[in-house]
Structure 1
Amino acid sequence: MTEPLASDEDGSAALEFIVVGLLMLVPLVYLVITLGMVQEQTLGAEAAARHTARVIGQAPDAATAAASAEAVLDNVIREYGMDADDVSVDMTCVGAAGACPEPGATVVVTVSARVSLPFVPPVFGLDEIASIPIQAQAAQKVSRLWGSGE
């Protein structure tokens, strides 16, 4: 009887497992990190829009509404770790004939932001190109008695 020839592949399964495992694990970890960052910023934009619209709708007058909205927005940006330079806020009033906000109108606050992908260097504007835009919108009805001092 002849003996089987020695195989050249002895012990290569462990090496293949490590290489293929790393090749699959690194993109998976990057995806999890990226999705976590996008989720955090999305929740932050949604909270900023909702709370800003709410304090504007519940404020007694325009000066208090502006001050409260600015304070809430700054707090939410800080709480969610958002970049204040990448956050923009737009306020419109539905059903308002004059200045916004006004009694009986619906305040619509839109918060837009950009999430930069992790590990993308700010070289040649790559961080701007490799970013994900997010947007959140919230509406709040303003009382008919708003600004009347009651």
Structure 2
Amino acid sequence: MSGTRSVDDQGSAVVEFIVLGLLLLLPVVYLVLVLARIEGAAFAVQRAAREAGRAYVTADRPDHARERADAAAALALSDQRFEGQGALVVSCSQPDCLAPDSRVTTSARVRVALPGVPRLLDQMVPAAVEVVATQVTPVDRFATRPDRFATRPGRFATRRDRVDR
């Protein structure tokens, strides 16, 4: 009996290897996909907060600043395939957000749903991760904005021409 093998056992090692390999490999692949999606969201919100802050403080007029920040954040989020999923919050350290040496805080937020989780399960157990990034951007102390100085044609702005607000 030492050299004989049962006919029923032939090929079963290959089947067992494939079944066990799939059972162990599928969760690892799912974990890699989930972590890649969360990492992409972290890149997206960090860049969205940074670019929104930069766009806000470099605006010429306060009424255009928010539009520029929203456009910059939307572009940064779309780079990582989070179109229309993020939220942007802008706050200022002074009432006039674009005053020299003030600080503008931008915060970007994205909710990442875990792939493959049914909606029913998502209602019972939270199956999403919220990723948030915050950026504080200073307004240039020495920059001048067109709406800060009123000039007459052919003249440079002086202190007397300054429009106080």
* TM-score, length-scaled by structure 2: 0.75
> 1:132 matched to which residue of 2?
129
Tell me if 1:112 matches 2:109: yes
SS at match of 1:59: coil
Contact 1:91 1:109 in 2 (8 A): yes
Distance 1:35 1:127 in 2: 22
> 2:152 matched to which residue of 1?
none
Distance 1:134 1:30 in 2: 19
State how 1:55-66 maps to structure 2 within 5 Å.
55-66=55-66
SS at match of 2:120: coil
Distance 2:114 2:17 in 1: 29
Runs of at least 5 residues in structure 2 that lack an aligned partner in the other structure: 150-156, 158-165
**CA RMSD of superposed structures (Å):** 2.5
> 2:40 matched to which residue of 1?
40
Distance 1:103 1:128 in 2: 47
Pairwise CA distance, 1:50: 0.5
Distance 1:12 1:128 in 2: 40
SS at match of 2:90: strand
Pairwise CA distance, 1:103: 2.6
Q: 138, 143, 147: which one pairs with 2:140?
A: 143
Q: 85, 97, 102: which one pairs with 1:100?
A: 97
Pairwise CA distance, 1:102: 3.2
Contact 1:59 1:146 in 2 (8 A): no
Pairwise CA distance, 1:105: 1.0
> 2:54 matched to which residue of 1?
54
> 1:31 matched to which residue of 2?
31
Structure 1 moving runs of 4+ over 4 Å = 7-10
* TM-score, length-scaled by structure 1: 0.81
Q: CA 1:127–1:33 in structure 2 vs 1: closer, same or farther (change >3 Å)?
A: farther
Pairwise CA distance, 1:124: 6.1
Pairwise CA distance, 1:9: 4.5
- The one-letter code matched in structure 1 to 2:45 is A
Pairwise CA distance, 1:137: 1.3
Q: Greater relative contact order: 1 or 2 (C-alpha under 8 angstroms, separation 6 or more)?
A: 1
Higher radius of gyration, 1 or 2: 2
